[in-house]
Amino acid sequence: MHFLKSARFQKAIFLFIVVAPAFAAYVLFTLYPNALSIFYSFLDWDGIGVKTFIGWDNYIRLFQDPFISRALQHNLILLVTVIPITLAISLVLADLLVNRTFGENSFYKVLYFFPNVLSLVVIALIWSFIYDGTFGLLNGLLQVFGLGGEHNWLGSKSTALLSMIPLYVWCYVGFYVVIFMNAMQGIPKSLYESATLDGITHMQRFTKITLPLLSGVIRVGTIFLILSVIKGFEYMLIMTKGGPGGSTEVISLYMFNLAFGGLNLGQHFYGYASTIGMMIFVLLVGLKLVVDKFFAKDSVEY
């Protein structure tokens, strides 16, 4: 009884009560489904009928499936364009909003963050109208400037995937502007003041002081952007269904269609889709390790 009343025991109980719900939720909604996915990846299963264990067959199929390599190429194009563009624009805008005292700063913050409060479907519909080949806003603008304006942006293999890049950048910039602004506001002003006394230009201030001190935040931002670009497929699902000619089919969309019968067949391939899910997991872990290597581990301090 004395032990039950002891401070150590009470502390242990309190910690357990505080941690248990979150941990239980993590196990139930994250760890358990992921463990099940590993199991499903070794099955031939349509999600309803009998589960048939087929060993490594799904993994072998992974390396023979031409749709996988095509989808990964599309993801790679988005990775090398969306991420640097988003980071660059976010950093510049954040720097301007923090270091320049515009009267309408608050308005700009709301404006940039606005896409984050819209639903995915609304964003997809907005951009579908922008890119529409008949009455789209983009074609209208091009016509005003005499630059053609009759192109079907989402209907052409050469432009469909590239058309997704402005959409993704537009969606992501606002969130990272807010993140970087908060990080920049944490940089001591004294560093800038002493640099200014030494005659530093604005560009040097940005590249020699701001960016290095933000490297930790930029690293985290990069990782989250990689996750979003690899896992995201909603816009392609709504706007192009992976077309034309599969030119906007990314790996998550392919996995989704296999699992939920998006191939207009009424057939489901849960087992193979889970295998692709495992591949995405390994890919994301690998990319995270690459990012860690690229960014210095030590935080910079002058």
Partner 1 sequence: MNKKMTWSSLALILCMVLFAAGCSNAANTKGGASNTNPGSTTPATGEQSSEEVDNYENGLPRNEKVTLKVGLLESGYGREWFDYAVKLFTEKYPNVTFDITASPKIGDLVSTKAAAGNDEDMFDLFYSDTWTEYVNANKLEPVTGIFEMSPDDAPGQKLNDLIVPGFNDPEKYYKDNAWVFPIANYIGGMFFDQKLFDENGWNKSPKTYDEFIQLCEAIKSKGIDPIVYAGLYNYAQFAFDTKIFEIAEENENNQFRNDFEYFNGPQNTSPENIEVYKRLYDMGKKGYISKKSVGMNHTQSQMLVLQHKAAMVPSGDWIENEMKESAPDDFQWGYMAVPFTNNPDGPIYMNNGLSYSFEIWAAKPELNKKWAKQFLLSLMSNEVQQELVEKGGALPLRKDYLDVPTRADNMKPLQKSIATYMKENQVVLELKNRKIELTHPDYAASLKVIVDNMALVLTGQEQPEPFLQDAEKLLQNAITNDKEAQNKE
Which part of the chain contacts partner 1 (CB under 8 A), choosing from 78-86, 112-120, 169-177, 236-244?
236-244
Nearer to partner 1, 21 or 148 (CB): 21
Nearer to partner 1, 6 or 116 (CB): 6
Strand partners, 52: 44
Q: Which region, judged by CB under 8 A, interacts with partner 1, from 78-86, 126-134, 202-210, 273-281? A: 126-134
Residue choice 1, 2, 3, 5 for contact with partner 1 (CB under 8 A): 5
Three-state SS at 44: strand
DSSP state of 300: P
Pick 37 or 152: Cβ nearer partner 1: 152
Chosen residue from 174, 221, 232, 246 binding partner 1 by CB under 8 A: 246
User: Given candidates 162, 244, 291, 295, which one binds partner 1 under the rule CB under 8 A?
Assistant: 244
Candidates 242, 251, 252, 255: give the one binding partner 1 (CB under 8 A): 242
Strand, helix or coil for residue 52: strand
Alpha helices, H only, the chain: 2-5, 7-26, 32-40, 57-64, 66-99, 105-113, 120-131, 137-144, 160-185, 189-197, 202-204, 211-213, 215-231, 234-239, 251-260, 270-294
Span 141-170, contacts to partner 1 by CB under 8 A: 152, 154-157, 160
| Binders of partner 1 in range 99-118 (CB under 8 A) | none
- Enumerate residues 6+ apart whose C-beta is below 8 A from 293: none
Which candidate, 75, 103, 118, places its Cα nearest to that of 255? 75
CA–CA separation, 204 and 73 (whole Å): 36
Structure tokens at 216: 């930790």
- In single-letter form, the type of residue at position 74 comes to H
Identify whether the C-beta of residue 74 lies closer than 8 Å to the C-beta of residue 249: yes
* C-beta separation of 248 from 236 below 8 A: yes
User: Per-residue x/- marks for partner 1, 17-46, CB under 8 A?
Assistant: x--xx--x---------------------x
Q: Output the smallest distance, CB 198 to partner 1, in A.
A: 55
Which of these segments, 11-19, 102-110, 202-210, 222-230, binds partner 1 (CB under 8 A)? 11-19
Instruction: Choose between 115 and 261: whose C-beta lies nearer to partner 1.
Output: 261
The footprint of partner 1 (CB under 8 A) covers: 5, 10, 13-14, 17, 20-21, 24, 46-50, 61, 65, 67, 128, 131, 133-134, 152, 154-157, 160, 239-246, 249, 260-261, 263-269, 272
